[in-house]
Amino acid sequence: MTPIPLEAMAASVPDGAMLALPPDYSLPPCALARALVRRGARNLRVLGVPITGYVTDLLVGAGCVAEVESSAVTLGEAGFAPRFTAAVRAGQIRMRDATCPAIHTALQAAEKGVPFMPLRGVIGSDILAHRPDWKVAPNPFAAAGEEDPILLVPAIRPDIAAFHAVMADAHGNVWVGRRREVATIAHAAHRTLVTVEHVVPGNMLEDERLAPGCISATYVEAVAVAARGTWPSGLLDEHAADAAHLAEYARLAKTEEGFRQYLDRHVLTAPAQAAE
Protein backbone atom coordinates (compact mmCIF):
# COMPACT_ATOMS: atom_id res chain seq x y z
CA MET A 1 0.00 0.00 0.00
CA THR A 2 1.40 3.36 -1.03
CA PRO A 3 -0.30 6.42 0.45
CA ILE A 4 -1.43 9.07 -2.00
CA PRO A 5 -1.11 12.82 -1.43
CA LEU A 6 -4.07 14.43 0.32
CA GLU A 7 -4.70 16.76 -2.62
CA ALA A 8 -4.81 13.75 -4.98
CA MET A 9 -7.38 12.11 -2.70
CA ALA A 10 -9.50 15.27 -2.84
CA ALA A 11 -9.14 15.35 -6.63
CA SER A 12 -10.49 11.77 -6.81
CA VAL A 13 -13.82 12.88 -5.30
CA PRO A 14 -15.98 13.78 -8.29
CA ASP A 15 -18.41 16.68 -8.24
CA GLY A 16 -21.90 15.44 -7.39
CA ALA A 17 -20.70 12.45 -5.34
CA MET A 18 -22.56 11.28 -2.24
CA LEU A 19 -20.02 11.58 0.55
CA ALA A 20 -20.74 9.75 3.83
CA LEU A 21 -19.13 11.32 6.92
CA PRO A 22 -18.91 10.38 10.59
CA PRO A 23 -19.81 12.93 13.30
CA ASP A 24 -17.41 15.43 14.85
CA TYR A 25 -17.13 13.26 18.01
CA SER A 26 -16.02 10.29 15.89
CA LEU A 27 -13.30 10.38 13.20
CA PRO A 28 -14.30 13.22 10.85
CA PRO A 29 -12.09 13.79 7.78
CA CYS A 30 -11.45 17.48 8.49
CA ALA A 31 -8.14 17.71 6.59
CA LEU A 32 -9.76 16.09 3.54
CA ALA A 33 -12.69 18.50 3.76
CA ARG A 34 -10.26 21.45 3.69
CA ALA A 35 -8.58 19.88 0.64
CA LEU A 36 -12.01 19.53 -1.01
CA VAL A 37 -12.60 23.24 -0.43
CA ARG A 38 -9.20 24.02 -1.99
CA ARG A 39 -10.01 21.88 -5.03
CA GLY A 40 -13.35 23.66 -5.44
CA ALA A 41 -15.57 20.57 -5.22
CA ARG A 42 -19.19 21.20 -6.29
CA ASN A 43 -22.64 19.67 -5.82
CA LEU A 44 -21.57 17.13 -3.21
CA ARG A 45 -24.33 15.24 -1.46
CA VAL A 46 -23.28 14.92 2.15
CA LEU A 47 -24.59 12.13 4.37
CA GLY A 48 -24.10 12.64 8.12
CA VAL A 49 -23.75 9.27 9.86
CA PRO A 50 -25.83 9.85 11.83
CA ILE A 51 -25.08 13.56 12.43
CA THR A 52 -22.41 15.93 11.18
CA GLY A 53 -20.92 19.29 12.07
CA TYR A 54 -17.77 21.23 11.27
CA VAL A 55 -16.92 19.34 8.06
CA THR A 56 -20.38 19.84 6.58
CA ASP A 57 -20.62 23.47 7.66
CA LEU A 58 -17.25 24.16 6.04
CA LEU A 59 -18.20 22.42 2.79
CA VAL A 60 -21.61 24.11 2.69
CA GLY A 61 -20.11 27.54 3.35
CA ALA A 62 -17.54 27.04 0.59
CA GLY A 63 -20.26 26.22 -1.94
CA CYS A 64 -19.26 22.56 -2.33
CA VAL A 65 -22.63 21.05 -1.35
CA ALA A 66 -25.98 20.64 -3.10
CA GLU A 67 -27.69 18.37 -0.58
CA VAL A 68 -27.35 17.31 3.04
CA GLU A 69 -28.95 14.21 4.53
CA SER A 70 -28.47 14.00 8.28
CA SER A 71 -30.21 13.67 11.62
CA ALA A 72 -28.60 16.92 12.76
CA VAL A 73 -25.95 19.42 11.78
CA THR A 74 -24.39 21.09 14.81
CA LEU A 75 -21.11 22.36 16.21
CA GLY A 76 -22.03 20.88 19.59
CA GLU A 77 -20.79 23.06 22.45
CA ALA A 78 -19.87 25.79 19.94
CA GLY A 79 -23.52 26.11 18.91
CA PHE A 80 -25.54 25.82 15.72
CA ALA A 81 -23.71 25.25 12.42
CA PRO A 82 -23.89 28.79 11.02
CA ARG A 83 -23.25 28.28 7.28
CA PHE A 84 -25.53 25.24 7.15
CA THR A 85 -28.28 27.15 8.96
CA ALA A 86 -27.99 30.12 6.62
CA ALA A 87 -28.01 27.87 3.54
CA VAL A 88 -31.13 26.00 4.70
CA ARG A 89 -32.98 29.23 5.43
CA ALA A 90 -31.99 30.68 2.05
CA GLY A 91 -32.98 27.48 0.24
CA GLN A 92 -29.45 27.10 -1.17
CA ILE A 93 -29.18 23.40 -0.29
CA ARG A 94 -31.65 20.54 -0.23
CA MET A 95 -32.06 19.24 3.33
CA ARG A 96 -33.19 15.67 3.78
CA ASP A 97 -33.94 15.36 7.47
CA ALA A 98 -33.58 11.93 9.03
CA THR A 99 -33.30 10.40 12.48
CA CYS A 100 -30.10 8.71 13.69
CA PRO A 101 -31.15 5.04 13.65
CA ALA A 102 -32.77 5.43 10.20
CA ILE A 103 -29.38 6.34 8.74
CA HIS A 104 -27.63 3.48 10.54
CA THR A 105 -30.36 1.08 9.39
CA ALA A 106 -30.17 2.23 5.75
CA LEU A 107 -26.40 1.69 5.77
CA GLN A 108 -26.77 -1.71 7.46
CA ALA A 109 -29.16 -2.70 4.66
CA ALA A 110 -26.43 -1.74 2.17
CA GLU A 111 -23.87 -3.74 4.21
CA LYS A 112 -26.08 -6.79 3.84
CA GLY A 113 -26.91 -6.11 0.19
CA VAL A 114 -30.67 -6.06 0.84
CA PRO A 115 -32.93 -3.34 -0.61
CA PHE A 116 -34.44 -2.08 2.65
CA MET A 117 -34.71 -2.70 6.36
CA PRO A 118 -37.48 -2.05 8.88
CA LEU A 119 -37.16 0.32 11.82
CA ARG A 120 -39.43 0.95 14.80
CA GLY A 121 -40.61 4.42 15.81
CA VAL A 122 -40.79 7.45 13.48
CA ILE A 123 -44.50 7.00 12.60
CA GLY A 124 -46.19 10.34 13.31
CA SER A 125 -43.00 12.36 12.86
CA ASP A 126 -43.04 15.07 10.18
CA ILE A 127 -39.68 13.71 9.04
CA LEU A 128 -41.58 10.79 7.56
CA ALA A 129 -44.05 13.12 5.83
CA HIS A 130 -41.09 14.74 4.02
CA ARG A 131 -39.39 11.49 3.03
CA PRO A 132 -41.25 10.06 0.03
CA ASP A 133 -38.48 7.43 -0.20
CA TRP A 134 -39.49 6.00 3.23
CA LYS A 135 -42.52 3.69 3.38
CA VAL A 136 -44.76 2.40 6.13
CA ALA A 137 -46.01 -1.17 5.60
CA PRO A 138 -47.86 -3.70 7.72
CA ASN A 139 -45.54 -6.04 9.62
CA PRO A 140 -45.98 -9.27 7.61
CA PHE A 141 -45.22 -11.32 10.73
CA ALA A 142 -47.80 -9.66 13.00
CA ALA A 143 -50.30 -11.94 14.73
CA ALA A 144 -53.55 -12.42 12.81
CA GLY A 145 -55.87 -9.45 13.24
CA GLU A 146 -53.12 -7.35 14.87
CA GLU A 147 -52.32 -3.97 13.41
CA ASP A 148 -48.58 -3.28 13.32
CA PRO A 149 -47.43 -0.64 10.84
CA ILE A 150 -43.64 -0.38 10.58
CA LEU A 151 -41.24 1.96 8.77
CA LEU A 152 -39.13 0.61 5.89
CA VAL A 153 -36.05 2.60 4.85
CA PRO A 154 -34.27 1.93 1.57
CA ALA A 155 -30.60 0.95 1.62
CA ILE A 156 -28.14 3.82 1.21
CA ARG A 157 -25.03 3.02 -0.80
CA PRO A 158 -22.86 6.16 -0.62
CA ASP A 159 -20.49 6.83 -3.50
CA ILE A 160 -17.68 7.55 -1.06
CA ALA A 161 -17.04 6.92 2.62
CA ALA A 162 -14.48 9.40 3.98
CA PHE A 163 -13.02 9.39 7.47
CA HIS A 164 -9.80 9.65 9.43
CA ALA A 165 -8.06 6.73 11.17
CA VAL A 166 -5.24 6.59 13.67
CA MET A 167 -3.02 4.46 11.44
CA ALA A 168 -2.77 2.38 8.30
CA ASP A 169 -0.47 -0.62 7.92
CA ALA A 170 1.67 -1.75 4.99
CA HIS A 171 -1.28 -3.76 3.65
CA GLY A 172 -3.74 -0.87 3.68
CA ASN A 173 -5.72 -1.96 6.74
CA VAL A 174 -6.74 0.99 8.90
CA TRP A 175 -7.29 1.18 12.66
CA VAL A 176 -10.26 3.12 14.06
CA GLY A 177 -10.64 1.60 17.52
CA ARG A 178 -14.19 1.51 18.78
CA ARG A 179 -15.55 4.04 16.27
CA ARG A 180 -17.41 1.34 14.42
CA GLU A 181 -19.81 3.69 12.63
CA VAL A 182 -16.97 4.38 10.22
CA ALA A 183 -16.75 0.63 9.57
CA THR A 184 -20.46 0.60 8.71
CA ILE A 185 -19.91 3.46 6.25
CA ALA A 186 -16.90 1.71 4.71
CA HIS A 187 -18.84 -1.54 4.31
CA ALA A 188 -21.79 0.24 2.69
CA ALA A 189 -19.98 2.63 0.34
CA HIS A 190 -18.69 2.01 -3.18
CA ARG A 191 -15.35 3.64 -2.38
CA THR A 192 -13.61 4.35 0.92
CA LEU A 193 -11.01 7.10 1.32
CA VAL A 194 -9.10 7.24 4.60
CA THR A 195 -6.69 9.83 5.97
CA VAL A 196 -4.37 8.61 8.74
CA GLU A 197 -1.97 10.03 11.31
CA HIS A 198 0.78 7.67 10.22
CA VAL A 199 1.60 4.38 8.50
CA VAL A 200 3.00 1.41 10.42
CA PRO A 201 4.87 -1.60 9.03
CA GLY A 202 3.41 -5.11 9.05
CA ASN A 203 -0.16 -6.39 9.09
CA MET A 204 -2.45 -5.28 11.94
CA LEU A 205 -4.89 -8.10 11.21
CA GLU A 206 -2.28 -10.53 12.54
CA ASP A 207 -2.43 -8.79 15.93
CA GLU A 208 -5.39 -10.19 17.88
CA ARG A 209 -5.66 -7.00 19.95
CA LEU A 210 -5.60 -4.57 17.04
CA ALA A 211 -7.71 -6.59 14.59
CA PRO A 212 -11.16 -5.85 16.16
CA GLY A 213 -10.53 -2.10 15.76
CA CYS A 214 -9.43 -2.45 12.15
CA ILE A 215 -11.19 -1.99 8.85
CA SER A 216 -9.71 -4.42 6.38
CA ALA A 217 -8.03 -3.20 3.20
CA THR A 218 -10.79 -5.07 1.33
CA TYR A 219 -12.89 -1.94 1.77
CA VAL A 220 -10.22 0.76 1.52
CA GLU A 221 -9.47 2.30 -1.87
CA ALA A 222 -6.86 4.84 -0.84
CA VAL A 223 -4.97 6.14 2.19
CA ALA A 224 -3.42 9.59 2.58
CA VAL A 225 -1.26 10.75 5.49
CA ALA A 226 -2.70 13.85 7.19
CA ALA A 227 -1.31 14.42 10.66
CA ARG A 228 -3.99 15.81 13.03
CA GLY A 229 -6.46 15.04 10.28
CA THR A 230 -9.48 15.38 12.57
CA TRP A 231 -8.48 18.84 13.82
CA PRO A 232 -10.32 20.85 15.20
CA SER A 233 -12.14 17.73 16.39
CA GLY A 234 -10.33 15.45 18.83
CA LEU A 235 -8.78 12.07 18.10
CA LEU A 236 -10.03 9.16 20.26
CA ASP A 237 -8.17 9.29 23.59
CA GLU A 238 -5.09 10.92 22.01
CA HIS A 239 -6.21 14.53 22.10
CA ALA A 240 -9.36 16.50 22.86
CA ALA A 241 -11.24 18.78 20.49
CA ASP A 242 -9.84 22.30 20.01
CA ALA A 243 -12.76 24.09 21.67
CA ALA A 244 -11.18 27.54 21.25
CA HIS A 245 -10.78 27.01 17.50
CA LEU A 246 -14.34 25.74 17.11
CA ALA A 247 -15.60 28.79 19.00
CA GLU A 248 -13.56 31.01 16.66
CA TYR A 249 -15.02 29.19 13.66
CA ALA A 250 -18.56 29.54 15.02
CA ARG A 251 -18.03 33.25 15.55
CA LEU A 252 -16.46 33.97 12.15
CA ALA A 253 -18.85 31.76 10.17
CA LYS A 254 -21.85 33.74 11.42
CA THR A 255 -21.35 35.98 8.38
CA GLU A 256 -20.33 35.25 4.82
CA GLU A 257 -17.49 37.75 5.17
CA GLY A 258 -16.23 36.17 8.39
CA PHE A 259 -16.38 32.74 6.82
CA ARG A 260 -14.20 33.98 3.91
CA GLN A 261 -11.68 35.25 6.46
CA TYR A 262 -11.71 31.82 8.11
CA LEU A 263 -11.05 30.15 4.76
CA ASP A 264 -8.18 32.52 4.02
CA ARG A 265 -6.69 32.02 7.45
CA HIS A 266 -7.12 28.27 8.00
CA VAL A 267 -8.07 26.52 4.78
CA LEU A 268 -6.71 28.18 1.64
CA THR A 269 -3.33 29.59 2.62
CA ALA A 270 -2.62 28.85 6.27
CA PRO A 271 0.86 27.56 7.15
CA ALA A 272 -0.80 24.97 9.43
CA GLN A 273 -2.09 23.36 6.27
CA ALA A 274 1.25 23.30 4.46
CA ALA A 275 1.84 19.66 5.38
CA GLU A 276 -1.43 18.74 3.71
Partner 1 sequence: MTIRPEERLAAAVARLILDPAAPAARHAAVGNASAIPAAACLLVRALGHPLRVSLLTRPRGNAFTEGSRELFDLAGQGRVDLFFLGGGQIDGQANLNLLGTGAWPGVETRFPGSFGSAFMYFMTPRTILFREEHSPRVLVQRVDMVSAPGVSPPGVFRRGTAQALVTGRCVFRFHPDRARFALESVHPGESVATIRAATGFDFDAAEAVPETPDPTEAELALLRGPVCDEMLETYPEFCARVFGRKHAA
Residues forming contacts to partner 1 in the complex (CB under 8 A) are 23, 25-26, 49-51, 70-74, 76-77, 80-81, 84-85, 88-89, 91, 95, 97-102, 104, 108, 119-128, 130, 147-150, 178-184, 234, 237, 240
Q: Which helix (H) or strand (E) holds 193?
A: strand 191-200
Min dist CB 46 to partner 1, Å, is 13
Q: Which of 158, 175, 135 lies closest to 52 in space, CA to CA?
A: 158
Q: Which is nearer to partner 1, 51 or 263 (CB)?
A: 51
Cα gap 153→69, rounded to integer Å: 14
8 Å CB contact between 161 and 188: yes
Least distance (Å) between residue 274 CB and partner 1: 27
Min. distance of Cβ 30 from partner 1 in angstroms?
18
Sort 151 into a burial class: Cβ within 10 Å, 0-12 / 13-18 / 19+.
Answer: buried
Q: How many CB atoms lie within 10 A of CB 273?
A: 16
Of 5 and 121, CB closest to partner 1:
121
Measured from the CB atom, is 99 or 195 closer to partner 1? 99
> Whats the size of the chain, residue-wise?
276
Task: Point out which residues pair with 100 in neighbouring strands.
Answer: none
The nearer residue to partner 1, 89 or 209, going by C-beta atoms, is 89
Compute the least distance from the CB of residue 8 to partner 1, in Å.
Answer: 29
